[in-house]
A and B are shown apart, each in its own frame.
Chain A
């Protein structure tokens, strides 16, 4: 009965590679998010989708491309990985927008070597 799930949990890859992280929620929420948490624990929003439509796109390099095939799934594809991309990436969902409880996934720890 996992609410928000992400795969993989750990991802170790070399600079220059392309990788994807998948996220699924079974809460029936309309809105999903991607956050990046760096080594200092800062939580920064990257993208937000509402019912498959992109509504928030922060200042993120265009190497990062989110895709939402349906409102229960939000994937993140990263091209040409760089050392600075190493972080924990959290997916989250909420009933509608940022003014309601956000349910976070377990996180994906990405290490770029």
Chain B
């Protein structure tokens, strides 16, 4: 089955700096890669996703890049703000397979004011 590894497990950055979280996946058939943000005590919420037919997607201060050959994808947050502090999860799934979403182990991002 699919295996998703996520690094780093914790990340602290100065407010205003950029943060990068990286994930690798094992199943070359995976073609959908979402990122979820979970604030303390809250539910996970989708912040951005990418499908395998594109290499990069941006939404304001967040962007995701995908390298299908290397089987890795990354989340980039620019101009970080205190409200970006949360746990971020990457995930992968295969459309038209059993479509199970396999999550990475999470990255706790702390923005230092």
Residues of A within 8 A of B (CB): 40-45, 48, 55-56, 90, 97-99, 101-102, 104-107
Contact = CB atoms under 8 A, between A and B. Distances in A.
B25 interface: no
B95 A97 contact: yes
Contacts of B103: 42-44
B32 A98 contact: yes
Interface in B11-51: 31-32, 34, 38, 42-46, 49
Given A41-B87, A43-B106, A98 B99 contact: yes
Interface in B77-112: 87, 89, 93-95, 98-103, 105-106, 108
B93 to A, nearest CB: 4
Contacts of B87: 41
B99 A97 contact: yes
25 contacts: A40-B105, A41-B105, A41-B106, A42-B105, A42-B106, A45-B102, A48-B100, A55-B98, A56-B98, A90-B43, A97-B93, A97-B99, A98-B32, A98-B93, A99-B31, A99-B93, A99-B94, A99-B95, A101-B46, A101-B49, A102-B34, A102-B46, A102-B101, A106-B42, A106-B43
B44 A104 contact: yes
Contacts of A98: 32, 93, 98-101
Interface residues of B, number: 24
* Secondary structure dominating the interface of A: loop
Given A45-B102, A101-B46, 19 more contacts: A40-B105, A41-B106, A41-B108, A42-B103, A44-B103, A55-B98, A56-B100, A90-B43, A90-B44, A97-B93, A97-B99, A98-B98, A98-B100, A99-B31, A99-B32, A99-B95, A102-B34, A102-B101, A105-B43
B28 to A, nearest CB: 16
Interface string B51-86: 000000000000000000000000000000000000
